[in-house]
Structure 1
Amino acid sequence: MMDKTTEHDYRAALDFLYGRINFERSANMPYSLAELKLTRMTRLLELAGNPERDQKIIHIAGTKGKGSASHFVNSILTQSGFRTGRFTSPHLYRIEERFAIDGIPCSPEDLLSCIETLRPLILEMDHEASLESSHGPTYFEITTAIALLYFARSKADYTILEVGLGGRLDSTNVCQPIVSLITSISFDHTRQLGSTLESIAREKAGIIKPQRPVISGVTNPAARAVIETIAEQRESPLYQLDRDFAVNYHSPTRLDESQPVAEFYQLKNGQAQKKFDSELGTLGRHQAANAAVAVAACEQLKESRIDVAAIQRGLSSTHCPARIQITHRNPLVILDTAHNVASVDALCEVLAESQQPSPSVLLFASTQEKDVRGMLQSLVQQFRTIICTRYLSNPRGVAIEEVAKYARQCAAEQNQTVEVIEAATPDEAWSLSQRLAGEDGLICVTGSFFIAAEIGKRFRHDKRLPKQNHQVIP
């Protein structure tokens, strides 16, 4: 427990951090050199003594799967005996989740210490920027600096950095990684990254560094070609899913009874050689692909301690919060942050491959600029009841009546009999879904990080930690 003085300082530090320019909370987030200047990030790290310089960094980008891949890499390295820092975004419940050592979020006291160290440097940069009619470091740039400072202080053996948005202009891209990962390419953030898979791939491939190995889980031919071209231009060794390595996934018979199993292969001259199989701590064929990319990345580290047994322990013990996460049984509750069509399709595939309880109830809310209709076109095929609501933690939520309209249209177009219900608040939606599912049914919460976080908060509460009144960040 914090004493009152420390807790006051902690709250003041969070007020300072959350008061920064935060493009993550903007419905029209920019993505240009005019706003996302890597020079600003470089300057902040220079003032902080370049804490990133001696770190062995694993850099991860991708439309979906980068958070899961970071968890897999973290778990494998931790099980191999390496002290591992992991910077991810967004956080679900507490900002400390973004800065983890061996999977354990930093303490509020450590976060406070990092912010206090950086604050005078940020204010100095604010003054410099004001002379040029510009602005100082943004929220995400500061959290990136916090992560690198915290991991340096914690003497991490390896540092995992997850890209926030895109790659080329992301603040994490000031690093010099020992290996880069691109998990997948699909449509999301098209206003910022472009409306074609090629343009999105080009932005993600911006993390490829000259002569540093790259692991790619991208299978779309057009996007794959872009990554191949950039890797060749930068003389970066490229290892690709389904060309250099592969994975086979075996789903559990029932979602709530057993772990899935994956078989991992090396591909050479068109021949597949099985390396090992392993249980996975996460559900879904897409997660097996993320695991395969993570394994390939860890193999590039050439560490003798990363053996098959450590990899198997890491894969089977990996748990990704709110990624098709089973939180309860009776009724079976699945919490998922799917917020684009590809992620929703992966969720629906998991549900279709295994026996699931009935009745099935979907609790859904989404975010402006997302393909809400595209997501619901898949979801109406899996659920007989859809409860539409709007999260409260961020102004970017789609209006409830608009979500419900799309749900009814999608159901009618596909001749699906679906009851669509509007709930004014997440609390009302949750109570209603419990009543409709009963003890034997299924409740699935998805559509946005925000709704997953707001419902997930009902399942956890730690009185030892100071309360955070700030909103969840997308």
Structure 2
Amino acid sequence: MKDLFEYLYSLRNRGSSFGLERMEILVDLIGNPQTKFPVIHVAGTNGKGSVCSMLSSVYQENGYNVGLFTSPHLISLGERIKVNGEMISNEEIHEEIRTIKPIAEMMEKKTQGMHPTFFEFMTAAAFLFFEKKKVDLAILETGLGGRLDSTNVVFPELSIITTISLDHCDILGDTIEEIAAEKAGIIKSEKPVLVGWVEDNVTSIINEIAKRKRSPLYSVASWDEKELIETNLKGFFQRQNATLAYKATKILESRFPVVDSLTRQALKKVRILGRWQEIIGKPKLILDACHNSAGSKCLEQNLIELNEKPQIWLGVLGKERAVDIVRVVSKYASSLVLFEVSQPRSCTFKELRSLIPSKFKGEIINFDLDKAAYYLSNLKKQQTILITGSIYLIGDILSIIRGYEKKNKFNLSDLF
């Protein structure tokens, strides 16, 4: 089993062009499992993971057998593929890898550069697993963009575009309009598309593509803010996400009927790791992934509502992404603890420090990931620590804490 997992993770270092050709060949060779179940396909710069989790919760609450595919994972690879909220086991992942690996190697043997990437491999594994589990409905989150994303080999019952802002410009385009066109690439002929709160110029682009494909276009833009759907998740933007998920169920009600009270109930008990996830202990930890400028606005809303100055732990991928995030955390932190994330694009300590405004008077510390668990376990007073920035930082810290707890036989808090 170990060898197959090592093989899978080695694919992360395999450079391949961005496109659908490999994925189309791969799913064809494994029997097109993605055609065996209905799909809701979700793209967007921010909010798509939350909307996917909300939809999964809603349909599960209403008695459906629901598959969920999201990325990336925090700690366990199985977080990416779930059925009715239960992660795929290592043994089940192993089984899917064993099925796909010889086909992937055959593709590479026939044509140089055609070996599937890590994400394509995981997408195919999800399709096979959902077929095996006979899901009534699968909720799929795009990995990057939409038009050329490996999930875009499906023909969904509904496409959802949550938000559009500048991110991954090196791949998706330098303007909002270019990025909108890429995200709208998930729209399929004569299948409905639902759009979240986006700018008018973005709506125009999506509307044009939808018209060309004869796809009914729905929006929540006119929804009264005072009547946004309630959710247990923190932040105004999560109420927007809940409203988007709620609207999706109404669009699909003839095919997938739901009970309104159960839908609202499900949206009040959604659990999403690393999205303003509060862990009450000593200290109190708040985990909130924030990876771009749009996310920093949501982070600021939550920090205002928190009404205290926490110590903030921060690590970010890419200096351009870090600018707005550092600006926000510098306004609300009592002190800043900086990390270099274990990813190639991580901001260095020097880069992060260069972005901190000179008016910030709190302590600034460069910190080693390996010291995180020991530091938390030896704090003598109650305080609040917010860990934010890259989702990889949050995952790394949780993994280290879990390992430290096992080694030292103590419970830092109820993290898992």
Scaled by the length of structure 2, what TM-score is found?
Answer: 0.91
Q: Which of the residues 2, 5, 8 maps onto 1:11?
A: 2
Alignment of 1:418-433 (within 5 A): 418-423=362-367, 425-428=368-371
Q: Which of the residues 245, 248, 261 maps onto 1:309?
A: 261
Larger relative helix fraction:
2
The one-letter amino acid of 1:219's match is V
Indicate the residue corresponding to 1:406 in structure 2.
355
1:302-331, Cα deviation, whole Å (9 max, x unpaired) = 156411111122101111100111123343
> Any conservation in 2 of the 1:339–1:370 contact (CA below 8 Å)?
no
From the superposition, tell whether residues 206 and 375 of structure 1 become closer, same or farther in structure 2 (CA, over 3 Å): same
1:339-362, Cα deviation, whole Å (9 max, x unpaired) = 112112201101202434x5x101
- 1:172 is paired with a residue of what secondary structure? coil
- Distance in 2 (alpha carbons) for counterparts of 1:381 and 1:234: 46
Alignment of 1:91-170 (within 5 A): 91-130=73-112, 134-170=113-149
Indicate the residue corresponding to 1:290 in structure 2.
241
Shift of 1:224: 2.2
Shift of 1:384: 2.1
Indicate the residue corresponding to 1:331 in structure 2.
283
Indicate the residue corresponding to 1:4 in structure 2.
none
The one-letter amino acid of 1:444's match is L
1:3-61, Cα deviation, whole Å (9 max, x unpaired) = xxxxxxx21111121122557xx7xxx8xxxx223121111111111111121000000
Shift of 1:427: 3.4
Indicate the residue corresponding to 1:441 in structure 2.
383
| Count of matched residue positions in the alignment of Structure 1 and Structure 2 | 405
User: Does residue 396 in structure 1 map to residue 375 in structure 2?
Assistant: no
> Any conservation in 1 of the 2:373–2:404 contact (CA below 8 Å)?
no
Mean alpha-carbon deviation: is it higher for 233-242 or for 13-22? 13-22
> Any conservation in 2 of the 1:341–1:374 contact (CA below 8 Å)?
yes
- 1:20 is paired with a residue of what secondary structure? helix
The one-letter amino acid of 2:96's match is C
The one-letter amino acid of 1:288's match is R
Indicate the residue corresponding to 1:341 in structure 2.
293
- Distance in 2 (alpha carbons) for counterparts of 1:454 and 1:306: 38
Alignment of 1:138-217 (within 5 A): 138-217=117-196
From the superposition, tell whether residues 22 and 63 of structure 1 become closer, same or farther in structure 2 (CA, over 3 Å): farther
> Any conservation in 2 of the 1:215–1:297 contact (CA below 8 Å)?
yes
User: Does residue 233 in structure 1 map to residue 212 in structure 2?
Assistant: yes
- 2:332 is paired with a residue of what secondary structure? coil
- 1:60 is paired with a residue of what secondary structure? strand
- 1:380 is paired with a residue of what secondary structure? helix
1:205-246, Cα deviation, whole Å (9 max, x unpaired) = 111111111111132222222112211221211111223x44
Indicate the residue corresponding to 2:271 in structure 1.
319
User: Does residue 64 in structure 1 map to residue 8 in structure 2?
Assistant: no
Structure 2 unmatched ranges of 5 or more: 407-416
From the superposition, tell whether residues 22 and 204 of structure 1 become closer, same or farther in structure 2 (CA, over 3 Å): farther
- 2:275 is paired with a residue of what secondary structure? coil
Q: Which runs of 4+ in 1 moved over 6 A?
A: 433-436, 461-464
From the superposition, tell whether residues 151 and 320 of structure 1 become closer, same or farther in structure 2 (CA, over 3 Å): same
The one-letter amino acid of 1:320's match is I
- 1:381 is paired with a residue of what secondary structure? helix
The one-letter amino acid of 2:217's match is L
Alignment of 1:345-424 (within 5 A): 345-356=297-308, 358=309, 360-368=310-318, 370-392=320-342, 394-407=343-356, 410=357, 412=358, 415-423=359-367
Shift of 1:418: 2.9
Mean alpha-carbon deviation: is it higher for 326-335 or for 160-169? 326-335
From the superposition, tell whether residues 463 and 123 of structure 1 become closer, same or farther in structure 2 (CA, over 3 Å): farther
> Any conservation in 1 of the 2:373–2:400 contact (CA below 8 Å)?
no
Q: Which of the residues 194, 197, 200 maps onto 1:221?
A: 200
Indicate the residue corresponding to 1:37 in structure 2.
19
- Distance in 2 (alpha carbons) for counterparts of 1:92 and 1:48: 28
- Distance in 1 (alpha carbons) for counterparts of 2:66 and 2:403: 26
- 2:120 is paired with a residue of what secondary structure? helix
> Any conservation in 2 of the 1:47–1:121 contact (CA below 8 Å)?
yes
1:264-297, Cα deviation, whole Å (9 max, x unpaired) = 4xxxxxxxxxxxx54x131111111111111111
User: Does residue 80 in structure 1 map to residue 62 in structure 2?
Assistant: yes
From the superposition, tell whether residues 168 and 433 of structure 1 become closer, same or farther in structure 2 (CA, over 3 Å): same
Q: Percent of aligned pairs with the same residue? A: 32
- Distance in 1 (alpha carbons) for counterparts of 2:297 and 2:376: 22
> Any conservation in 2 of the 1:363–1:433 contact (CA below 8 Å)?
no
From the superposition, tell whether residues 441 and 434 of structure 1 become closer, same or farther in structure 2 (CA, over 3 Å): farther
